[in-house]
Structure 1
């Protein structure tokens, strides 16, 4: 009888990837998840005879291999290969291959060999990912809606602005775009850990804790050939303004095509968006999180100091800082390295701020450990705890002397949120980080009423002052607000009021004053007076792309020289682009659809610029339109798109104006049905 020979092997890509929830992940190799069998169809030169013939399947990862005897049963604790029952009746057989649920993530080679001779047959390769659908995998997440959102969803919304006026920023994770999966696997291969000891690195890739620390370091380029170079200087020559990125795919492709030269430039939301892509591709449930009023406590004393002049100008003093928002990611995993109770969401921050074990990375830190102030646990919990819990000392100073000081224990970490499951609304997750009642966010892209932004301060010496916005501040319109000063005592008071407005970037102290007002008023016992103020568009048009303002009011009792301060940092909301879909209920994969894109110039001057349309899984490439609009003029254009696959997708628009600093965006989520 002829010796048994393998003539061909079909890797059954479509069936396996459908069963492994890897459909749409583009790679030259089969893509499967660990802890779950995948099927091969093997064609022999004759029928396989169980008691006579024998075969070994070699599974190789970067020169590390397992030789697996092909049997008729599965062993879930280790690599196994077995024929399906009843599949040996002809020269073709169905062979199942299964990895353990803790197998290392990577690109594997498959060979079939005879145990008695040198014969071998190269089957091909497959990419093995983590498996959040497998209960034995340490990234298992039980809720299917969470797996849909945190693993399979290829678009998201990142939240910026301020806690009282949250702004949506659409982001395309692009994990189903051509080449992205292979680039994510390459990222692991070029890491310092792999170069230092490839054997240990490959072995450690069984653990999502290890994987997440490698990826956190590799997203920034500070210590290695990582993906992104950070830049907060406002000079982006030689690269891309971080605000102009709207997805991860372009960044990852540019990094790979440049042979791992860092892409210029990134800031926190860009680092987080790209990391979310890589982790979702690797099969680790991940979501992007925004922490509003995020403290950077450099000396670790859980105190951040802010200084104002006696006329309300905020001073750039001190090494500590509070960012209006900071963006990181959370990944879902078990923490076998910790005692019970700390599985679940873990904070990871790829923005290069502080070193962790000598490398610019942060986490994974259990969210629950942050809430419980477990400073003894790894990784980087003290730094993250301060980001959401530091106290703020607000001082009024004059010629180096502190005139008054107050403590704000609620400002830092005032709102922590992420995209809701299956919705574009922000989900408030503040209570998972700290024992507090967070404020209710108001989102500028919603249909809710305009936010009422107000701040009240009270002095023990008989005065209170309240800042209140009369309407939501929108770029192109006037900033209208009132200052209410109240005499809390039974004597007449002469009060001086100083109001000060400064432009601000989200991550640093304000710049010089661009608007101020000063008044002297008389207050009868227990009297309140309301002073209304207005800052015109022409007075703040010079802000550039800094759409944040620090507004402060200091009132002083002339007799006692006692002062009280109220301040508010607020964002100017940009106008939006409208996107409407023709026959929205019948959008079908592989069928041409039409979106109508509309924008009206709200500014008091003509505008011109470039409108960019993008959408992962909808548009093959970006689409560009030149526009020029007079005051009050509208534009409408039709954009054709062809969905590649079923699911919920996002079409988004970005308008960059030539003569106006505002960046104008719009988005539409689209449910695509199978053809």
Structure 2
């Protein structure tokens, strides 16, 4: 009888990756599959046909030094709790048989090696087959990351672009971001992130065993996105000095950051701030197969002494003072990941907060979460991990104090401003989704997805103040837009039946979202006389020439202090807001007939709204549409002038993709952005 030998083994990559919804990882040399589902390999035999009565096959699967050996059976019944290999007896080809390998739904994530052993006539022959990458499987009901709706799986696993929300609760800014999870090298870098982690370096066997659990994986990734305790991806910088690296506002996607980190030998990339940390973590989690979304908490409290109170101090002229270690960030960005919490009980399943921005240590390491969103809403602050910290970020009270030297002139309290609006990108649409009600009980219900005007609460007491004798309210007359005056109104009511003479102090300061305001760039002072019980409105404006060279991408803190010259009482009203930047307009030719590998044309248009000429560099990118980036220098453009830039791109992947453009202005600290969703259809 002839010897039976294995001539060749093919991994059937296109078929397997289509079945496992990993076909977009086409640039990876490895077969990429998801746990809890079978994949197929095909053997090419020589010598004679395979005979099940005298021949048998075993497969050895290895992750590091961990391994499992399984016989190839003829039972098609797949187990989601054990490794299994089988041939389909009904479609068995004795010359080119196919073998299906199925992993348990709780298998560890990582890059596996596998070998095939053929036993025939008392002889053993070994064939080294190669490698496959195993990811979590949100399509498998037995996987702890299973999410039951296909549109959510498409959004939170497959979508390689999105929107990050910034600004303020009343004036949201949607910043396009490219997650890049299917770009060349990103999968390998995300897997290497787990290998570089301290947990893996300390005890590789334990790390491999624990990688079956998304709770463990998410804590490792949360710590590895920042570099404070390890060889993490990003170095944070909130100083304003970015000479040794990249301004966080200049990043447009995760791919460049992860690529730079890998190519540098895992030295931290400079620099990141909260939305960059969160967006890069979202990329890593989506690559690993764990559903993930980026979340913005507006008016996020940083409570350093755990008393759920944030103190804000103002001078008697309305200038905000840097007097407290506590702070409120206009917005703070983290991620949520979807998973079962078997360690806490089924009532804590679902979305979990994870925050890779280095703020506080958790278990001795700069990471945060996973904290169940349900635990935050119900104030279950005795649960792991970091529920009290996140609870304070969305629920602290604000105490506002007006000082003259060390003397307190007025005091007021705001219980609504912190965590006033929490949102994420809507499933399938380029707009925000209000998820405030997931984190806290709110006074009046709002729709899950609605317009900005109807979702943002205006209950905050910060923009109005009151004393025994005077009421003051400060309101913008319309959302501020770059190149236009900032118009606002101050309403003053005399609550007493006697006339009053009052000093009015108005003050505007530029403010970074995470910091106290800088020096005053505009102020106005005056005196008004109020008749008994009079209700009056003062109108004022800040001209573009006053703010254009000061504010850039920053916010504005506008405050008014009324001083009663008779009683010496003072009352404060304040408002923080951003100035809406102009948008780049992107038009794509023949956008209804876009298919892979066919060249397309688009036009990017910019009109200068500013009161002086501008110039800069235009960057165009798009995951699945453009390999790398396109750079164009824009010559000086006079006020009111328009410039057009034509670009060509060749789509690589099917699906809805984001074409995004970013114009970095040389004379201003401003980035002008725009994006266009592009549908790439199958040819």
> TM over 0.5, yes or no?
yes
Find 1:83's aligned residue among 83, 87, 95: 87
SS in 1 for 2:184: coil
Change in 2 beyond 3 A, CA 1:530/1:82: same
SS in 1 for 2:55: coil
**1:243 equivalenced with 2:249 (yes/no):** yes
Change in 2 beyond 3 A, CA 1:607/1:438: farther
**1:663 equivalenced with 2:671 (yes/no):** yes
Whole-angstrom distance in 1 between the partners of 2:467 and 2:614: 50
Whole-angstrom distance in 2 between the partners of 1:653 and 1:162: 23
Whole-angstrom distance in 1 between the partners of 2:595 and 2:66: 45
Q: Is the 8 A contact 2:474 2:488 kept in 1?
A: yes
Show the counterpart of 1:121. 127
Name which of structure 1's ranges 182-191 and 514-523 shifts more when overlaid on structure 2.
514-523
Name which of structure 1's ranges 43-52 and 110-119 shifts more when overlaid on structure 2.
110-119
Matches within 5 A, 1:227-306: 227-306=233-312
Name which of structure 1's ranges 315-324 and 45-54 shifts more when overlaid on structure 2.
45-54
SS in 2 for 1:671: strand
Whole-angstrom distance in 2 between the partners of 1:159 and 1:13: 38
**1:485 equivalenced with 2:465 (yes/no):** no
Residues 107-161 of structure 1: CA deviation (Å, up to 9, x unaligned): 0111111455552101111000000000000000000000000000000100010
SS in 1 for 2:472: strand
Find 1:335's aligned residue among 328, 337, 341: 341
Whole-angstrom distance in 2 between the partners of 1:476 and 1:208: 48
SS in 2 for 1:477: coil
SS in 2 for 1:651: strand
SS in 2 for 1:216: helix
Find 1:391's aligned residue among 378, 387, 397: 397
Following superposition, the deviation at residue 541 of structure 1 comes to 2.8
Residues 327-359 of structure 1: CA deviation (Å, up to 9, x unaligned): 000000000000221100000000000100000
SS in 2 for 1:570: strand
* Contiguous gaps of at least 5 residues in structure 1: none
Following superposition, the deviation at residue 65 of structure 1 comes to 0.8
Find 1:111's aligned residue among 102, 110, 115: 115
Show the counterpart of 2:22. 22
Name which of structure 1's ranges 550-559 and 357-366 shifts more when overlaid on structure 2.
550-559
Find 2:366's aligned residue among 360, 366, 388: 360
**1:205 equivalenced with 2:211 (yes/no):** yes
SS in 2 for 1:225: coil
**1:60 equivalenced with 2:62 (yes/no):** yes
Following superposition, the deviation at residue 452 of structure 1 comes to 9.8
Show the counterpart of 1:593. 600
Name which of structure 1's ranges 551-560 and 16-25 shifts more when overlaid on structure 2.
551-560
Whole-angstrom distance in 2 between the partners of 1:345 and 1:491: 57
Whole-angstrom distance in 1 between the partners of 2:522 and 2:456: 24
Whole-angstrom distance in 2 between the partners of 1:522 and 1:446: 38
Following superposition, the deviation at residue 605 of structure 1 comes to 1.1
Change in 2 beyond 3 A, CA 1:493/1:621: same
Show the counterpart of 1:312. 318
**1:42 equivalenced with 2:43 (yes/no):** yes
Name which of structure 1's ranges 385-394 and 71-80 shifts more when overlaid on structure 2.
71-80
SS in 2 for 1:387: helix
Q: Is the 8 A contact 2:434 2:455 kept in 1?
A: no
Whole-angstrom distance in 2 between the partners of 1:456 and 1:604: 30
Following superposition, the deviation at residue 572 of structure 1 comes to 1.1
Matches within 5 A, 1:546-561: 546-561=553-568
Q: Is the 8 A contact 1:456 1:464 kept in 2?
A: no
Whole-angstrom distance in 1 between the partners of 2:334 and 2:458: 28
Whole-angstrom distance in 1 between the partners of 2:101 and 2:2: 26
Show the counterpart of 1:33. 34
Name which of structure 1's ranges 203-212 and 462-471 shifts more when overlaid on structure 2.
462-471
Whole-angstrom distance in 1 between the partners of 2:175 and 2:445: 20
SS in 2 for 1:585: coil
Following superposition, the deviation at residue 456 of structure 1 comes to 4.6
Whole-angstrom distance in 1 between the partners of 2:305 and 2:221: 27
Whole-angstrom distance in 2 between the partners of 1:141 and 1:450: 29
Following superposition, the deviation at residue 52 of structure 1 comes to 1.4
Show the counterpart of 2:659. 651
Q: Is the 8 A contact 2:299 2:329 kept in 1?
A: yes
Find 1:528's aligned residue among 526, 532, 535: 535
Whole-angstrom distance in 2 between the partners of 1:590 and 1:459: 64
Quote the RMSD (CA, aligned, Å): 2.0
Show the counterpart of 1:12. 12
Whole-angstrom distance in 1 between the partners of 2:105 and 2:175: 36
Q: Is the 8 A contact 1:613 1:622 kept in 2?
A: yes
Whole-angstrom distance in 2 between the partners of 1:228 and 1:652: 23
SS in 2 for 1:584: coil
Name which of structure 1's ranges 263-272 and 629-638 shifts more when overlaid on structure 2.
629-638
Whole-angstrom distance in 2 between the partners of 1:367 and 1:424: 24
Q: Is the 8 A contact 1:452 1:469 kept in 2?
A: no
Following superposition, the deviation at residue 451 of structure 1 comes to 12
Residues 3-39 of structure 1: CA deviation (Å, up to 9, x unaligned): 4322111100000000000011131110000000001
Residues 36-67 of structure 1: CA deviation (Å, up to 9, x unaligned): 00011112222222221111100011121111
Q: Is the 8 A contact 2:32 2:135 kept in 1?
A: yes
Find 1:581's aligned residue among 588, 601, 606: 588
Change in 2 beyond 3 A, CA 1:607/1:305: same
SS in 1 for 2:218: helix
Q: Is the 8 A contact 2:463 2:575 kept in 1?
A: no
SS in 1 for 2:524: strand
**1:70 equivalenced with 2:77 (yes/no):** no
SS in 2 for 1:619: coil
Whole-angstrom distance in 1 between the partners of 2:455 and 2:443: 22
Q: Is the 8 A contact 1:594 1:641 kept in 2?
A: yes
Whole-angstrom distance in 2 between the partners of 1:452 and 1:532: 20
Show the counterpart of 1:563. 570
Whole-angstrom distance in 2 between the partners of 1:239 and 1:456: 38
Q: Is the 8 A contact 1:58 1:110 kept in 2?
A: yes
Following superposition, the deviation at residue 362 of structure 1 comes to 0.3
**1:100 equivalenced with 2:100 (yes/no):** no
**1:497 equivalenced with 2:504 (yes/no):** yes
Whole-angstrom distance in 1 between the partners of 2:673 and 2:112: 42
Whole-angstrom distance in 1 between the partners of 2:116 and 2:657: 41
Following superposition, the deviation at residue 92 of structure 1 comes to 1.1
**1:135 equivalenced with 2:141 (yes/no):** yes
Q: Is the 8 A contact 1:504 1:546 kept in 2?
A: no
Find 1:157's aligned residue among 142, 159, 163: 163
Whole-angstrom distance in 1 between the partners of 2:544 and 2:445: 29
Residues 493-533 of structure 1: CA deviation (Å, up to 9, x unaligned): 22221111111100011111111111211111221121111
Whole-angstrom distance in 2 between the partners of 1:75 and 1:329: 33
Show the counterpart of 2:432. 426
Normalising by structure 2, we get a TM-score of 0.96
* Contiguous gaps of at least 5 residues in structure 2: none
Name which of structure 1's ranges 651-660 and 469-478 shifts more when overlaid on structure 2.
469-478
Whole-angstrom distance in 2 between the partners of 1:433 and 1:488: 38
Whole-angstrom distance in 2 between the partners of 1:633 and 1:440: 42
Count how many residue pairs are aligned between Structure 1 and Structure 2. Answer: 673
Show the counterpart of 1:627. 634
Show the counterpart of 1:673. 681
Show the counterpart of 1:51. 53
Whole-angstrom distance in 2 between the partners of 1:450 and 1:80: 52
Q: Is the 8 A contact 1:514 1:540 kept in 2?
A: yes
